Structure 1
Amino acid sequence: MKQILSIVFVILTTITLQAQVVVIDPGHGYGATTSDNPDGRTATEIETSLDVGLRTRTLIQNSCSSWTVHMTRTTNLNSWISVNQRATMANNWGADRLLSIHCNAGGGTGTETFYCTYDDTTTAADIAFAQKIQNDMSTNGSWNNRRCVEDNSFLSYHLGVLRYSSATGCLNEIGFVDSSDATKLTNSTWRATFANSYFNSLKSNLGVTCSSSLPGSFTLTLTPECSGTTSQMRLNWTASAGATSYDIYRNGSLYASNITGTQFLNTYLITPGTSYSYYVKAKNTAGGTNNSNGTKTATAVACVPGAFTVSATATCSGSTSAINVTWTASANATSYDIYRNGNLYAQDVTGTSFLNTYLITAGTTYTYYLKAKNSAGTTNNSNGTRSVTATSCAAKISENNDNFITAGEPSFKAYPNPTSGLISVNLTNVNSSKVSFSVFDITGKKVYNAESSIKEKDFVTEINLDKLPSGTYILLVRLDNKEYSQKIVKQ
């Protein structure tokens, strides 16, 4: 019988140690409006004390399932109550620990903690609790350690919330609202640090190891992307300790449940240009859940360049017959490929026009179509093929060695012509940053190609045709979306 009673005593003692009631008192609040401030406290104190208190409560609820945590206020407005009322609330809740959170004023720096042993049978417990709160807060908060003392030894009066409460308790002034301390008090990261310090102090002072009934914290990332022509949203998250599966919420509603692993690809009903919001809940076998670190929102990308139309017009480029190809801009396109007579003719063209002068014969019909390309390499054809017949231009390309061959602006001169192999190309009034040179034989075969960067309006370079057999060639110069050509005779 004695053995049974001993076992029962141990069980009851364990339950008592684990099942703690903690009351968090975030101090002074407002009345109905922020201008209704009975205690004349600053917004920094009222709002910081509440935020840190709520964060501390969340830590307890997420990690100590056997604890009960109460708060004397949970909002800033309509939350003013007297110190006597706060003490009464703690007594009615049967508080084991009472932590009153405040912020100081008066231009000092650092943190300080007060305890009250007036008419108290738990003097040692009050002092130990206050010292733990003070030491941890000064260390974790990197604060000046001002003092941890009996309230009336410094204030000349007892703090009502401590004097009239029967719980082991203390009042901590986190820092000063009217000194350099205020930078920390209003910083979200530091507020989280203060809450974590309170939480760990409570656990240590109570001598209790908490076991969480919830999965561990984790973070979510959201990335809009393309899979071929399909727009999709990729969710990745870090593993949650103790989680067995995850539920995914899209735009506030459950979208997918019992997902294992740490990623999810959402392709269904994704519309380019539309924003989607996601959050994830981790679940364990006990049914506990933990939300991811906030809701993530992103806009779905367009995976296919938008529709566009093409026009082709016969024109003259100086004395050269030419075809001017123009098109409307394709949404999401980064460049265009131009096809002439069914074959790729020019690649990665930017802008919305292209002047084709090479091997254009008056009276001959040419057909064109374009493909718009986006950064993912996905293409979209233009709206049909366009055909146009080249017109005859009044003048022919000059074969005089010393004449400029002008095709509007800019102009160029290639010399000597005829040449034994080496020719100089002189470009004037150039506004482009890059130029390409191509040489074709009379069959249209490209026999030479080069590119150069241009840093000045007048540009000179050399082309070596020494390895080409004697004959007639066409030199094609391309600046941006325009072409200029000249006949070259190789001796």
Structure 2
Amino acid sequence: MSYQPLSRRNLLRGAVLLGAGAAGVLPAASAFAAVPKIYIDPGHGGTDSGAVGNSLQEKALTLAISLKTRDILKANWSVDVRMSRATDATVSLTARTNDANAWGADIFVSIHINSGGGTGFESYRYTSASAGSVRLQDNLHAKILAATRAVATVTDRGKKAANFHVLRESTMPAVLTENLFIDTAYDAGLLKRADFINATANGHAQGIAAYFGLGGGGGGGFSTIVDNASSRFTGSGNWAASAWSAQRYDADYRYATPDTTTSDAAWYKVAIPTAGAYYVDVWHPADTGYNNATPYIVAASGGNQTVVVDQRSGGGAWRNLGSFNLAAGDYNAVGISRWTTGTGYVVADAVRVRK
């Protein structure tokens, strides 16, 4: 989020009427819903690109971080997540806060990228913030710095307060994060790295979990999901898309006929932040017409390892393939092969890699 020119700062501030929840008090732990309602706001979008620099656009970066944050939260904890936008859509500031307020969100987290020639990370609460906003900022700030500093050198610009619309007009604890400077070469270099984007998203998720006292979730502080609809999934034209099963992870999944002569694997590209042991989980719908011996391939550091899964049962949930030593880097880490003597369609849906 840029502070230059001044008109853009005024856009973030919006109208100056105070929101009803601006000076609210922190609810007791028992006041939270059994399933926390988390509102994530990817800054800008659509006709509003936000800050630009070094061949990057703020709106694209905030959406990428927000989607990954949502996926990590849903993969590791029982939470309800709503987003102001999940695509490159134009959404006004008023529409964002109105939507969060009407939904009854427990917290509001707005994700931005900075500009103006500086470097590092900073976070904002409202100028007369509630105790809940202060505590949310404390948790987010600490966890985001810890996660990003695990993969890079990041300057701490501090915890700040500002009269931004999304902080003022939301009726629940609210924090806005500024994740590096898009117009600074060093920061932009980090924002172009998949492992840094993953770390930033993980920091947001861990900070939110800490605020609600949800515990460690994935345990080691890293978790990422790659769905078949993602650009990080690749498969030949033999892998068709279907939304037939309600057990699918998201909008659809892929399926292919088995083949005893060629692998024709579909692959999930994963950014592994550091070398080490990781759990690999898979999600698939189950049906009697699906394959009873589907080969999953894990590109472990010592060589590919294959785990055979019966996709006729255990669908609609995460299934653990085991723990594998993975090298650091951004590469095709998990695959699904068509090469099997099993019968029925081979299905590729979603993959999760976590510590």
- Class of the TM-score when normalised by the shorter of the 2 chains: 0.5 to 0.7
Deviation at 1:167, TM superposition (A): 1.2
Gap change, CA 1:288 and 1:50, over 3 Å in 2: same
Gap change, CA 1:138 and 1:90, over 3 Å in 2: same
2:3 matched residue in structure 1:
none
Match for residue 125 of structure 1 among 129, 132, 141: 132
The SS at the match of 1:84 is helix
2: CA distance between counterparts of 1:284 and 1:217?
Answer: 21
Q: Is the 8 A contact 1:113 1:134 kept in 2?
A: yes
Q: Does 1:50 align with 2:63?
A: yes
1: CA distance between counterparts of 2:133 and 2:285?
Answer: 44
The farther-off stretch of 176-185 and 130-139 is 130-139
Compare relative contact order (CA 8 Å, sep 6+) and give the higher one, 1 or 2.
2
Q: Is the 8 A contact 2:286 2:313 kept in 1?
A: no
Gap change, CA 1:283 and 1:159, over 3 Å in 2: farther
Q: Is the 8 A contact 2:38 2:107 kept in 1?
A: yes
Q: Does 1:177 align with 2:188?
A: no
Letter of the structure 2 residue corresponding to residue 112 of structure 1: E
Letter of the structure 2 residue corresponding to residue 288 of structure 1: A
Letter of the structure 1 residue corresponding to residue 79 of structure 2: W
Deviation at 1:150, TM superposition (A): 1.6
1: CA distance between counterparts of 2:39 and 2:115?
Answer: 24
Q: Give 1:42-441 correspondences, 5 Å limit.
A: 43-64=56-77, 66-76=78-88, 79-118=89-128, 123-142=130-149, 143-151=154-162, 158-179=163-184, 180-209=186-215, 231-233=261-263, 256-259=290-293, 285=314, 287-289=316-318, 296=335
Q: Is the 8 A contact 2:71 2:225 kept in 1?
A: no
1: CA distance between counterparts of 2:102 and 2:216?
Answer: 24
1: CA distance between counterparts of 2:167 and 2:312?
Answer: 40
2: CA distance between counterparts of 1:168 and 1:15?
Answer: 13
Deviation at 1:202, TM superposition (A): 0.6
2: CA distance between counterparts of 1:182 and 1:191?
Answer: 11
The SS at the match of 1:134 is helix
Gap change, CA 1:19 and 1:172, over 3 Å in 2: same
Higher helix proportion (structure 1 or 2): 2
The number of equivalent residue pairs is: 243
Deviation at 1:207, TM superposition (A): 0.9
TM-score (norm 1): 0.42
Deviation at 1:194, TM superposition (A): 0.7
Deviation at 1:217, TM superposition (A): 7.1
Match for residue 21 of structure 1 among 37, 40, 51: 37
1: CA distance between counterparts of 2:45 and 2:103?
Answer: 20
Deviation at 1:89, TM superposition (A): 1.2
The SS at the match of 2:157 is strand
Deviation at 1:233, TM superposition (A): 3.0
Deviation at 1:147, TM superposition (A): 1.2
Higher strand proportion (structure 1 or 2): 1
Deviation at 1:110, TM superposition (A): 0.4
2: CA distance between counterparts of 1:94 and 1:140?
Answer: 29
Deviation at 1:93, TM superposition (A): 1.3
1:30 matched residue in structure 2:
46
The unaligned stretches of length 5 or more in structure 2 are 1-28, 219-223, 227-232, 236-259, 268-276, 298-307, 322-331, 340-355
Letter of the structure 2 residue corresponding to residue 71 of structure 1: M
Gap change, CA 1:40 and 1:185, over 3 Å in 2: closer
1:368 matched residue in structure 2:
none
Q: Is the 8 A contact 1:114 1:130 kept in 2?
A: yes
1: CA distance between counterparts of 2:266 and 2:45?
Answer: 41
Gap change, CA 1:81 and 1:17, over 3 Å in 2: closer
Gap change, CA 1:87 and 1:284, over 3 Å in 2: farther
Q: Is the 8 A contact 1:281 1:291 kept in 2?
A: no
Q: Is the 8 A contact 1:114 1:171 kept in 2?
A: yes
Gap change, CA 1:87 and 1:246, over 3 Å in 2: closer
The SS at the match of 1:257 is coil
1: CA distance between counterparts of 2:127 and 2:310?
Answer: 46
Deviation at 1:209, TM superposition (A): 3.7
1: CA distance between counterparts of 2:310 and 2:180?
Answer: 36
Q: Is the 8 A contact 1:247 1:281 kept in 2?
A: no
Letter of the structure 2 residue corresponding to residue 185 of structure 1: L
Computing the radius of gyration over CA atoms, which structure comes out larger, 1 or 2? 1
2: CA distance between counterparts of 1:54 and 1:281?
Answer: 30
Q: Is the 8 A contact 1:248 1:257 kept in 2?
A: no
* RMSD, aligned CA: 4.6
Q: Is the 8 A contact 1:98 1:167 kept in 2?
A: yes
The SS at the match of 2:171 is coil
1: CA distance between counterparts of 2:338 and 2:75?
Answer: 32
Report Cα offsets for 1:225-261 as digits up to 9, x if no partner: xxxxx83439799997787x97799xxxx98434488
2: CA distance between counterparts of 1:186 and 1:107?
Answer: 17
2: CA distance between counterparts of 1:99 and 1:19?
Answer: 17
